[in-house]
Amino acid sequence: MSLSARNHLKGKVTEVLLGTVTALITVKVGNNLVESVITKRSAEEMGIKKGDTVVAVIKATEVMIQKD
């Protein structure tokens, strides 16, 4: 499968919170956490569960950079 998104972050699912319509998926990438809100139906169809290895694909028109 080809995607135009350039940011692919492989990590492990640390939490899945299912709501009525949406699901909050938390993925640990290195020492960082990436959170994604997807539909509950998608989460169920994909069978996403804690401990799964997944890829967070990020496509954004704006990415902010911070330097302390």
Q: Is 10:24 a contact under the CB 8 Å cutoff? A: no
Order the strands of the 7-18 sheet from edge to edge: 32-39, 22-29, 7-18, 53-58
Residues 9 and 33: their CA atoms lie apart, in Å, by 11
pLDDT of the residue at 23: 98
pLDDT tens-digit readout, 14-40: 999 999 999 999 999 999 999 999 999
CA dist 34 → 2, 9, 31, 63 (Å) = 22, 9, 10, 14
Residues 58 and 46: their CA atoms lie apart, in Å, by 18
Q: Could you give all domains of the chain from N- to C-terminal order, each with its CATH number? A: 7-58 (2.40.50.100)
pLDDT of the residue at 3: 86
